[in-house]
Amino acid sequence: MILSRNLLVALIATVISFSTLYVPQPMLPLLAQTFDVSAGKAGLLMTVAMLPLAIAPIVYGYILQAVPAKLMLIVALSLLALDQVCFYFASEFWHLVALRLAQGLLLPAIFTALMTYCASMAPANGVRRVMGYYIGATILGGFAGRLVGGVIASAFDWHSAFVVIGLAQLLPLLLLLRVDADTDINFSRIDSRSALRVLGNPNYRLMFVALASVFFVFSGILNIVPFHLRDLDPGATPLLISLLYLGYLVGAPVSFASEAISRRLRDERSGLFIGLALHAFGLVMLLLVAYRGLIVMMFFLAAGFFLIHALLSGLANHLAREHKGVVNGLYVSIYYFSGALGSWLPGYLYDGLQWQGMIIVFLLILGLAAASIRCFRPG
C-alpha cells in the first residue's frame, strides 16, 4: 500500500505530537533536582498531561462536533508550539505543571483529529492497515520525544529540549497548509446509560481491570526508572537515561504481530498470559540488573505490555456488537487514567519503599491482572 501525501502528513504530525507528551520523562530526575521536588511530585509533569486524555471521551465529545480536522489541527498545533516555547521562560515548578496541563487540554483534540484524518484517508479495505501505521507512529513518537528530551537536555539544558519540540510542531503546520482534503471530527462521547450497560458485562470489567493494572505498572516503571538509574549512577545524564527507552520501540512490531499471535494460539487468554509473563519477567529482573540490564529488561516489559494492549483492544472491538464507540471511549479513558495514576503514585511508592519495595507492589498489581485474565471468558 503506497502512502498518499495527505496520510504521510498526518503520520508525521502524529509522531511529532506524541513526542510532546513524553519529552519530559528522561529529564524528570534533573527537573526534580533543579526545583527541589520529590520523585512523586516530579511525576505530575506526566500526570497532568495524561489526565485530560482520560476524560476526553466524556467531555470532548460535547465540544468537538462537526469540527473540520484541518482547522482543529492548525489551531491546536499552533497553540501547542507556543506552549512549548513558553517553557524557556519557566522559573518555578508550578510554571511547568501549568504549561503541561495546557498541553494536556490540547492533545486530545490533536490526537482525535489525526486519528480521524488517518481513518478517512484509507480505502474501505485498508482501514486496519492504516490504523496500524497510526499506532506505529504513536509508538515512534513516544520514543522520539524521550530521545530528543535526553539528547537536547544533555547537550544544552532542559529549557532547550522543550523549545526544540515546540519548534518541531512547525513542520506539520507547514505541511498541513499543502493538504487539501479535509474531514469532520466524529468524536464518540460516553453517556452514563450506555457506559453502565457496557460495564454491566463482566468480560468488559475484567478486561478493563487487566488493562488498568498492567498500564499502571508500565507507566510507573517508565517514570521511575530514570530516578533508579540516577541512584545507581549519580552522574547519569538525560541522554543516558533516554537510552533506557529503546525497548519501547519493540511495541510497533509486537502490536502489528498480535493478531497473528492470537490466531496461532487459538486462544486470546493464552496470548494475554504470554504478555503478562514477559512483563512480570522483566519486572523481577529489574531487581537484579544494572544499567545495561535495565535496557534489556525494558524490551521484555514493553513487549509484554504492548502484546496485552493490542490483544485487549482487539478483543474489546470484537465483543462490541453494540455501543462500539462507547466501548472504545471507555477503553481510552481507562487506559490514560491508569497511565496518569501510574506516572504519579509510584513516585511516592519509590520515595517511601525504595526500588525493591515498589517492584514488589507492582508484582502484586500484576497478580490482579492475572486473576482478571483467568476469569475472562471470551467465548
Strands (E), 38-109: 65-68
Residue with cell 506526566: 46
Is the model more confident about 246 or about 5? 246
Residue with cell 496485552: 308
| Predicted confidence (pLDDT) per residue in 147-168, tens digit | 999 999 999 999 999 999 999 9
Q: Of 161, 189, 217, which residue is a domain's last?
A: 189
Shared domain for 184 and 261, answered yes or no, is no
Shared domain for 87 and 20, answered yes or no, is yes
Shared domain for 135 and 69, answered yes or no, is yes
Residues 85 and 81: their CA atoms lie apart, in Å, by 6
Shared domain for 196 and 309, answered yes or no, is yes
Shared domain for 314 and 214, answered yes or no, is yes
Strands (E), the chain: 65-68, 184-186
Flag the least confident range among 102-116, 150-164, 165-179, 314-328: 314-328
Shared domain for 147 and 221, answered yes or no, is no
| Cell numbers representing residue 374 in the block | 483467568
Shared domain for 308 and 276, answered yes or no, is yes
Q: Is 188 a residue whose pLDDT tops 90? A: no
Residues 217 and 111: their CA atoms lie apart, in Å, by 24
Report the number of distinct structural domains present in the chain.
2
| Cell numbers representing residue 113 in the block | 483529529
Element (H, E) at 79: helix 69-86
Q: Assign 377 to helix, strand or coil.
A: coil
Q: Assign 63 to helix, strand or coil.
A: coil
CATH value at residue 236: 1.20.1250.20
Residue 66, sorted as left (phi over 0), alpha (psi -120 to 50) or beta, turns out to be: left
pLDDT at residue 363, as a whole number: 97
Shared domain for 201 and 343, answered yes or no, is yes
Q: Please check whether residue 298 is in contact with residue 142, taking contact to mean a CB–CB distance below 8 angstroms.
A: no
Shared domain for 159 and 197, answered yes or no, is no
Domain residue limits at 92: 1-189
pTM of the model: 0.89
Residue 290, sorted as left (phi over 0), alpha (psi -120 to 50) or beta, turns out to be: beta
Mean pLDDT computed over 242-246: 93
Strands (E), 174-322: 184-186
Shared domain for 124 and 223, answered yes or no, is no
Q: Of 189, 205, 231, which residue is a domain's last?
A: 189
66 φ/ψ angles, rounded to the nearest 5 degrees: 55, 40
Q: Of 162, 189, 216, which residue is a domain's last?
A: 189
Shared domain for 344 and 357, answered yes or no, is yes
Question: Mean pLDDT across the chain, nearest whole number?
Answer: 86
